[in-house]
Structure 1
Amino acid sequence: MTTDTAAGLALGLYLLGVVAAFGVRTWLHRRRTGTSGYLGLSGAPGSAQWWGGVLFAAAAAVVLGAAGPALAVAGTGPQPAALPAALRWAGLAAAVLGFAAVLGAQSAMGSSWRIGVDPGERTSLVTTGAFALVRNPIFTAMITALTGVALLAPTLVTAAALVSLVLAVELQVRVVEEPYLRQVHGQQYALYTARVGRFVPGIGLQRQMLATEGENAR
């Protein structure tokens, strides 16, 4: 696989994945529920919650993720580093599987799928399918997909996109989503976090939270 071919595949897969995961998914969600599922940025400007949304937009909403491969295809800006062919093929597999997993996990959420958090809204806690393996399979799949894109078009821009996405996901999950789910679902969420890892199976278990919830319930 040549460098140009790899960069072209990275750009095509990324744009296709973004359109499917955000555009098509939003359209389907609106048809089924009457709402888009987009809840906007959380928190006040400058807060950790706000930065999580901004970094996510920079990394995942086409900006950096598409810019790296696009610049490589155009022959301008940072050019891809030389990587062994095996790593490029591994990147292709990771990108395809990652985007497919994003769509699968989004579908598994059904009407509970959202981008952002509304503190006054209560949605069902999804714990089956991919959510029985990790608590945040959509984010895990997104990082996998963007890692694949970065291997196909290994530039400073795609590296920055990947770092931004990881930081955004950590902020979004730890500062925004987990406190919300803990407040809304209480003991049910505590039991879930005690047995299912955050992004990787078995890693990020929160057994201490289960003990705390148990004490509060007494």
Structure 2
Amino acid sequence: MIFQLMGLMALLLFYGVYFGKMAAQRKQGIQTDHIAKGGKKGRLFWVEMTMKAATYAVPAVEIISLLSGTSRMPALIRYLGALAAFAGAACFAASVYTMRDSWRAGIPEGDKTEIVTTGIYSMSRNPAFLGFDLVYIGLLLMFFNPVLLVFSIFAMLMLHMQILQEEKYMADTFGGEYEKYREHVYRYIGSKGRYGGNTNET
């Protein structure tokens, strides 16, 4: 029961931030969800559409796994999973807070935002995606089963494909400023010293 409660709490925290931020931006007239929208075609459209389907399917499988409550994983591994899940929710919340009104889901073609390199973005170029991955890994360790394993791996793979698309967009949009930032901060976690670029937090 304790693992079910912790798993449910981690999911509520994570998706509460996700959908809560979307609702808050909608009230401001900001369209947050740009996934597979805006006339996107070709590879970008299919990557975003597949990613969206995967990231909507995983929570359903997670909830089913959580409600079943069964797992043969040792208690220590399950507690580490809970720690990873809560760390993922915190990481995602920090990324959304740091981005403020520049946060978008998907590539916002035609919706100009500013590059953010401060706060948690000085330690990871993609902390929101890192948050997703940590939650997936955490719930997988807590409620391991083959179906959840397959769905989680596929979703993380699609999130990585989305990162590659977004990095190309960032390089095209922000040019040398983004390239300099990319040289200092790693894709998922870590940096090569303090980045001294743009200090705007938007």
Letter in 1 for 2:43: A
Structure 1 counterpart of 2:199: none
- Measured in 2, the distance between the counterparts of 1:11 and 1:155 equals 17
Distance 1:16 1:157, change over 3 A: farther
Letter in 1 for 2:24: L
For structure 2, which runs of at least 5 residues remain unmatched after alignment?
A: 193-202
Letter in 2 for 1:144: L
Matched, 1:182 2:171: yes
Matched, 1:89 2:66: no
Matched, 1:122 2:112: yes
1:197 aligned to which of 175, 180, 186: 186
Letter in 2 for 1:59: A
Asked if structure 2 preserves the Cα contact closer than 8 Å seen for 1:65 and 1:158, the reply is: no
- Measured in 1, the distance between the counterparts of 2:110 and 2:49 equals 22
Asked if structure 1 preserves the Cα contact closer than 8 Å seen for 2:84 and 2:138, the reply is: yes
Deviations 1:9-64 (A, max 9, x none): 3245324422x132101112223x411311131643xx432343234323322x22
Letter in 1 for 2:14: G
Distance 1:90 1:108, change over 3 A: same
- Measured in 2, the distance between the counterparts of 1:89 and 1:28 equals 33
Deviations 1:141-163 (A, max 9, x none): 11011111111111123212321
**Aligned sequence identity (%):** 24
- Measured in 2, the distance between the counterparts of 1:157 and 1:57 equals 18
TM-score by length of 1: 0.77
Asked if structure 2 preserves the Cα contact closer than 8 Å seen for 1:91 and 1:148, the reply is: yes
1:50 aligned to which of 32, 45, 59: 45
For structure 1, which runs of at least 5 residues remain unmatched after alignment?
A: 204-218
- Measured in 1, the distance between the counterparts of 2:150 and 2:5 equals 19
Deviations 1:174-198 (A, max 9, x none): 1x21121111111111111111111
- Measured in 1, the distance between the counterparts of 2:51 and 2:23 equals 21
Matches within 5 A, 1:15-30: 15-18=12-15, 20-30=16-26
Question: Matched residue of 2:144: which SS?
Answer: coil
Compute the displacement of 1:8 (Å).
5.0
2:59 aligned to which of 54, 65, 69: 65
Larger Rg: 1
Structure 2 counterpart of 1:13: 10
Matched, 1:150 2:140: yes
Asked if structure 2 preserves the Cα contact closer than 8 Å seen for 1:64 and 1:157, the reply is: no
Distance 1:161 1:153, change over 3 A: same
